[in-house]
Amino acid sequence: MSEETKKIKLLIVDDEEDFLNSISERLGMRDFDVTTASEGKLAVKIAKKGKFDVAILDIRMPGMDGIQLLQILKKKHKFLEVIMLSGHGAIDSAVEATKLGAYSFLEKPYDFEKLLEVLKNAYEARLKKKFEHDKKRMEEIEMLRMGSSPMAILKSLMHMDDDEK
């Protein structure tokens, strides 16, 4: 896939099927690569298989709610940015989600142009975090290269790689 055809990969999780279909169709027409899930447990399974750039999560869902899902996704996917949606303007939920690493919180019904702007900003934040992380790793590798034997370098690289998994 060339850089020109690369799409931002979104995971959208919401228990309201009509909403899920509508938002995924609208974002798909805007050239996002959209994957959907109607429940938290399914979203966790999907996220294990695919690398997503941004997730959009409903806060209130039966079973695993959006806050629980946010915690799992942020723990397992450190560069994933998460946008929380709620049809129930709960300020305490927004504060909790932000403390747990959510990039943004939007209320339903959402303004589509506002959502697009937040998605763009979340993706840029993801790229910045990833760039800073990669830059730090390259500096660590450069330091290793300067003062270590080939086997010591290899062992250190293997350890660094394990930390990424």
Strands 81-86 and 33-37 turn out to be unpaired
Regarding whether 98 and 29 lie in a shared domain, the answer is: yes
Q: What is the mean pLDDT of residues 6-11?
A: 91
Q: Which pLDDT score, from 0 to 100, does residue 107 have? A: 86
Regarding whether 146 and 123 lie in a shared domain, the answer is: no
Regarding whether 112 and 139 lie in a shared domain, the answer is: no
Q: Which pLDDT score, from 0 to 100, does residue 6 have? A: 73
The residue assigned the tokens 């959209």 is: 34
Regarding whether 117 and 90 lie in a shared domain, the answer is: yes
Q: Is residue 3 part of a domain?
A: no
Regarding whether 139 and 110 lie in a shared domain, the answer is: no
pLDDT in tens, 82-94: 999 887 766 677 7
Q: Is the pLDDT of residue 1 over 70?
A: no
Regarding whether 146 and 111 lie in a shared domain, the answer is: no
Q: Is residue 116 part of a domain?
A: yes
Regarding whether 68 and 43 lie in a shared domain, the answer is: yes
Regarding whether 101 and 60 lie in a shared domain, the answer is: yes
Q: What is the DSSP letter of 8?
A: -
Q: pLDDT: is 115 or 95 the higher one?
A: 115
**How many separate domains does the chain show?**
2
The enclosing H or E element of 11 equals strand 9-13
Q: Tell me the C-alpha distance between 17 and 52, whole Å.
A: 21
Q: What is the mean pLDDT of residues 60-77?
A: 92
Q: Which pLDDT score, from 0 to 100, does residue 73 have? A: 96
Q: pLDDT: is 13 or 60 the higher one?
A: 13
Non-local (6+) Cβ contacts of 20 within 8 A are 12, 14, 36, 38
Residue 69 belongs to a domain with what CATH number?
3.40.50.2300
pTM of the prediction? Answer: 0.82
Q: Determine the structural domain holding residue 15 and report its residue range.
A: 9-129
Average pLDDT, the chain: 86
pLDDT in tens, 121-158: 999 999 999 999 888 888 877 777 776 677 777 777 77
pLDDT in tens, 16-47: 999 999 999 999 999 999 999 999 999 999 99
Regarding whether 103 and 67 lie in a shared domain, the answer is: yes
Q: Which pLDDT score, from 0 to 100, does residue 108 have? A: 84
